[in-house]
A and B are shown apart, each in its own frame.
Chain A
Amino acid sequence: DVKVTQSSRYLVKRTGEKVFLECVQDMDHENMFWYRQDPGLGLRLIYFSYDVKMKEKGDIPEGYSVSREKKERFSLILESASTNQTSMYLCASSFSVTNEKLFFGSGTQLSVL
């Protein structure tokens, strides 16, 4: 089974802090994604990556950056956390461009105070 692991289940940070969310997948998937999920707004794509050192902006990239130094690891960075970034963050991966079935991690509930 595909396993997508997010480093923290719950995280509490203060406004202005730099926050790192880590995600690791163990199935050699090419594609990795970061979503946030908010009540009433559904899943919104922040950033995605099709290959190592490659990244593409999603629908809501403002205030975020990403890093993919190794194929299995995709990090989401909040450069200066703000209260409106309080959300559930979900990492996902898929095998390839032509096989888009997404497998999600268990999520990180981030609270910014």
Chain B
Amino acid sequence: QKEVEQNSGPLSVPEGAIASLNCTYSDRGSQSFFWYRQYSGKSPELIMFIYSNGDKEDGRFTAQLNKASQYVSLLIRDSQPSDSATYLCAVNDYNQGGKLIFGQGTELSVKP
């Protein structure tokens, strides 16, 4: 059973700090990695995706991928209370193209 693991949290950080969210996956054949943000009562929305080893930056968000260690992380710099949400890591199932496997999500709380 292919798995994507995340700490459920809650992860609590003060406003302005860096929030670090981590995800590990079991399928070495995975090639595409996604981070979704889900506010309470809302549906998930895509915020970052990464395909290659290394870092990918988009504004205050940085996705990091290490395929050798099978982990992907999301850094949120200068965290804001509006970043408080559940963050879902998703990894593609290479053998069933287009199908994503989701982690259970990490709840982030940014305290003013």
Contacts and interface: CB of A to CB of B under 8 A. Distances in A.
Nearest to A99: B98
A103 interface: yes
Interface stretch (A13-21, A35-43, A67-75, A78-86): A35-43
A31 B43 contact: no
Interface residues of B, number: 21
Interface string B45-61: 11001000000000000
A42 B4 CA distance: 11
Interface residues on A, range: 20 to 34
Given A90-B43, A104-B43, A48 B104 contact: no
B39 to A, nearest CB: 12
Contacts, number: 51
Contacts of B99: 33, 45, 48, 58, 100
Contacts of B45: 104
Given A100-B92, A106-B43, A50 B104 contact: no
A100 B43 contact: no
A41 B8 CA distance: 11
B71 interface: no
Interface string B80-105: 00000000101010001111101111
B32 A100 contact: yes
Given A43-B44, A104-B44, 4 more contacts: A42-B104, A43-B102, A90-B44, A98-B97
Interface of A: 31, 33, 40-43, 45, 48, 50, 56, 58, 90, 94, 96-98, 100-107
